[in-house]
Amino acid sequence: MPIRCLVVFLLACAILSPAHGQPPRTFSEAKKMAWPLYAKQSVEFYCGCRYNGNQVDLRSCGYVPRKNPQRASRIEWEHIVPAWVIGHQRRCWQQGGRRNCSSNDKVYQRAEADLFNLVPSIGEINGDRSNYSYAWLPQKADQYGACKTVVDFKARKVMPRAQVRGMIARTYFYMRDRYGLRLSKQDLRLFEVWHKQYPVDRWERQRNQLIGCVMGWSNPYVGKIDLGSCPKSSR
């Protein structure tokens, strides 16, 4: 990794947390801590658009809003493994939905706030994706302009752009192992293919190191991290 990039990433890590190894406690806290993680790259997840602050430059990736231009113009934080999927496998959801899980289930709280599972997304895509599962789908011309992510509302499926498929697979494997999530045989087969077909790239390794400095551990499907290189808190 170039020295200049490393310095930027580690400075961002220092800003993020009072000390490395102290994960966010809530989803709200996680969203606040996530912004500096992507300050250097500032590219949203599903379409590759550039953004500044929470405003998306739709022209940078040729994005054309499908239905909601206002929501398309802003960044929202997307759970790669949806909160619905995490919660529906826990009793708390059956007894009061997401609010109950967020308030009373410590495992769900940690999973909902896990920075490895959060990415910046165009708001409209975040809304359209909902809690749909990922799948291979035929490309729909001009669904979102030049954006290569496809949403099939009838089938309740999403095909993400090729550049993030491997990262999605490795995030699902990580969340499964970390929080005891169950994956269907269909999802498992798909993610095993994506994991092999789309290997870890430099940005995913850098992201793994940076988030690992905050969380205190890595996503092992991406690789090991050096906690010794994480900046200490100045507080």
Cα atoms in the 13 Å half-sphere on the side-chain side of 222? 26
Closest CA to 58 of 159, 161, 146, 120: 146
Residue 225 lies in a domain: no
Residues 6+ apart with CB under 8 A from 106: none
Angle at which helix 165-179 crosses helix 202-215, to 10 degrees, equals 30
Residue 22 confidence (pLDDT): 85
Q: Global pTM?
A: 0.89
Residue 234 lies in a domain: no
Measured at the CA of 116, the angle between CA 199 and CA 114, to 5 degrees, comes to 160
Residue 214 lies in a domain: no
Check: CB of residue 36 under 8 Å from CB of residue 15. yes
pLDDT block averages, 10 residues each, the chain of length 235:
42 45 91 91 95 96 97 97 94 91 93 97 98 92 93 97 98 97 96 98 95 96 92 53
Residue 48 lies in a domain: yes
Residue 233 lies in a domain: no
Residue 20 confidence (pLDDT): 60
Q: Label the pairing between strands 133-134 and 118-122.
A: unpaired
Token reading at 93: 């959801």
- Residues 120, 43: Cα–Cα separation, whole Å: 8
In one-letter notation, the amino acid at residue 84 is W
Residue 229 lies in a domain: no
- Residues 36, 16: Cα–Cα separation, whole Å: 7
Residue 115 lies in a domain: yes
Residue 159 confidence (pLDDT): 97
For the chain, the residue count is 235
**What is the tally of structural domains in the chain?**
1
Residue 8 confidence (pLDDT): 43
Could you give the C-alpha distances from 179 to 173, 190, 235, in angstroms and in order?
10, 20, 31
Tell me the residue range of the domain where 174 lies.
Answer: 24-209
Token reading at 207: 């992201």
